[in-house]
Structure 1
Amino acid sequence: MNVEKQIKLSFHGVDILNVQFIAENILDKNVNVDIIIKPKVFYPVNSPLEFKIIFDTQLKANGFFELKLNAIGHFSISNDVDEETQKKFINTNAPAIMFPYVRSFITTFTSNLGNVTGPLTIPPHFFSGQLEELTENSLPRP
């Protein structure tokens, strides 16, 4: 039996770096909450097999609240990956792996705000397209 080597994308966790929350009023449950998720990618110069996915996330209900957070997901990839597969892993798979952690954080955070927002659950999100590439100087800092 011939066993093929699996291409490996490894996930090493998520760090929530910054959280900003401003409440103006208690959320009216009939008001729409706007959700913006902007994934970006960073390639460390000294680690060619590693990359980081950065989520700039914002939830906002005008007149009620605004929540912003920055999260970084840490990933590595095996060195025998062709360029097309690598792009798919970076632009689609890695953000999809990281998303549930950010989603869970937001639900837990907002459920601890009591009646201000109540627990907010972000719906599933699908990622596609080329991610914006960040430089060392543009990375979010804690």
Structure 2
Amino acid sequence: MGTIKNSPFKLDQFIVEEFSISRKPTKQGKIDFGINPSGTIDDTNKVFKLTLNVYIKDSNESFDIKITALGFFEFKLVRSVESLSNYFYTNAPAIIFPYIRAYISSITALSGLKAINLPVMNLSSLKEDLKANTSVEVISAP
């Protein structure tokens, strides 16, 4: 049996910073979906703030959703910012995306129209964008 290691980071908090939705009682068309990731590393406090700007709409204009979600990760076991691995950049979005999916499903179910259930997605393609859009600064966590 292999040894199980603790992860060098953990999700501390998930926040929906902004959310907007418009819905029409029209048959849902093909879904168009996009995610723009960015991050801020606070090396002093060992915190990483992940921001995911997500948009979801469909070809029949039956809905248009925009959400900005924040995930605050602690990385106390990491010795330096440089030691944050590709594993982190790949997995941080995957960790908070289920919260976004659940939030959208719940809110849309309450709108009186059919709930919008996003599929489970492989977000590994966001890794390079997240790395490119990550800065280092002091974060004032909520």
TM-score where L is the length of structure 1: 0.76
Moved more, 49-58 or 34-43: 34-43
Q: Is the 8 A contact 2:40 2:50 kept in 1?
A: yes
Give the share of equivalent positions with the same residue, in percent.
23
Instruction: Give the aligned length.
Output: 129
Residues 116-135 of structure 1: pairs in structure 2 closer than 5 A: 118-128=114-124, 129-130=127-128, 131=130, 132-133=133-134
How far has the Cα of 1:135 moved from its partner? Answer: 7.3
1:110 aligns with 2:127: no
Check 1:27–1:38 CA distance in 2 against 1; reply closer, same or farther (3 A cut): farther
What secondary structure, in the 3-state scheme, does the structure 1 residue paired with 2:34 have?
strand
User: Which position in structure 2 is the counterpart of 1:50?
Assistant: 47
The separation in 1 between residues aligned to 2:86 and 2:38, in whole angstroms, is: 14
The AA in structure 1 aligned to 2:122 is F
How far apart, in 2, do the equivalents of 1:64 and 1:5 lie? 46
Asked if the contact 1:7/1:81 (under 8 Å) is kept, the reply is no
AA matched with 2:42: P
In structure 1, stretches of 5+ residues that fail to align are 137-142
- CA positional deviation for 1:75: 0.1
Whether contact under 8 Å (2:41, 2:81) holds in the other structure is: no
Bigger CA drift: 56-65 or 37-46? 37-46
For structure 2, the 5+ residue unaligned runs are 138-142
